Structure 1
């Protein structure tokens, strides 16, 4: 890239990194807070993202693409079934895409591309789950929706700096994975699993 394009790419990376930090901390924060954190002028931000909604759409779109990449990589793993599924869990936790779900669901209108990528991510999540159950390594009373909320529980862990937060998330993910494996240490799980409608309804903006 020439100098101008390279600078634009650097600015875009700074803006997206700043936007993620700002909006996962405070979804109601103004766009000006993103520009300030990124160290770019507000005009430079608006040239790339004409509105806060466009910026939120981009953040969540990028998150879905990472989810898809991690899930596809796990499904391509023909090795040990449990390790393949565990790699999928670890990869999603490392990507931290569910921090966006926790904070931003229902705060903007999803685009058609977001709906398509969301459908693809859901297909892959189901495929990874079904393969683990069929292999006899994942307890069958755990649903795809259960795993989705477990990802959100991991994303809610924030303590200290990024390194400490990542360390703790993997600590509790490891404890959680012990509960997911067959044979289970306990009997039937209390209460029914979350329903798809309950999870998707959060993305409908409130009137």
Structure 2
């Protein structure tokens, strides 16, 4: 998930701490997606900072994991809120899916869910994300383009399917994810034979329990 480093520079130690935080989180994301059991020392090594610099910001691995995943959840919410501003329900949904796939939010969900105890605030944001997703799917249904048997809970699994596509080349990974998202979005559109089996029930796929 790209992080914005083009923020106004802070002076002195505050600026160095802010820069360290960006580097640490980027390193932690790479390390823990590859191996959720990796130690925090591997994060410090990849980030090129001393272990003391990491511990000054994060008291332990659980705090670091929670920060990573909560940041991903907040990005999902921000993209869903942006989608709510698009008047066309189908376009809102399809473009939202593309932005979230590009941000690679669901690699965090797939690899790190269950490895830490989520905070109450994270639980509240997860509920907010669910509400926004349900509203987005409802609007797409109203427009008549989204097939009738698709439910909000299908969205998360579509995003996880795309996140499962991964190669050694990040750019190739992005292209392939977009390729398979296009196939999946095509399957969301219009009529077709009924989808097999019942859809996921509300709460059935909750990752941050």
Q: TM-score, normalised by structure 2?
A: 0.92
- For residues 1-207 of structure 1, the aligned pairs below 5 Å read 1-78=10-87, 80-182=88-190, 184=191, 186-200=192-206, 202-204=207-209
| Contact 1:22 1:29 survives alignment (8 Å) | yes
| Alignment partners' CA distance in 2, 1:198 and 1:83 | 27
The alignment partner of 1:109 has SS state of coil
| Contact 2:66 2:118 survives alignment (8 Å) | yes
Per residue, is there more helix in 1 or in 2?
1
| Alignment partners' CA distance in 2, 1:9 and 1:92 | 25
Q: CA deviation at 1:82?
A: 2.0
| Alignment partners' CA distance in 2, 1:195 and 1:46 | 40
Q: CA deviation at 1:96?
A: 1.1
CA distances 1:102-141 after superposition (whole Å, capped 9, x unpaired):
0111111000110111111111111111110111111110
CA distances 1:50-89 after superposition (whole Å, capped 9, x unpaired):
01000011001100110011001011112x3322221111
Q: CA deviation at 1:4?
A: 1.4
Q: CA deviation at 1:35?
A: 0.4
| Alignment partners' CA distance in 1, 2:126 and 2:151 | 18
Displacement over 3 Å in runs of 4+: none
The alignment partner of 1:198 has SS state of coil
Q: CA deviation at 1:13?
A: 0.4
| Contact 1:107 1:203 survives alignment (8 Å) | no
The alignment partner of 1:120 has SS state of helix
Q: TM-score, normalised by structure 1?
A: 0.93
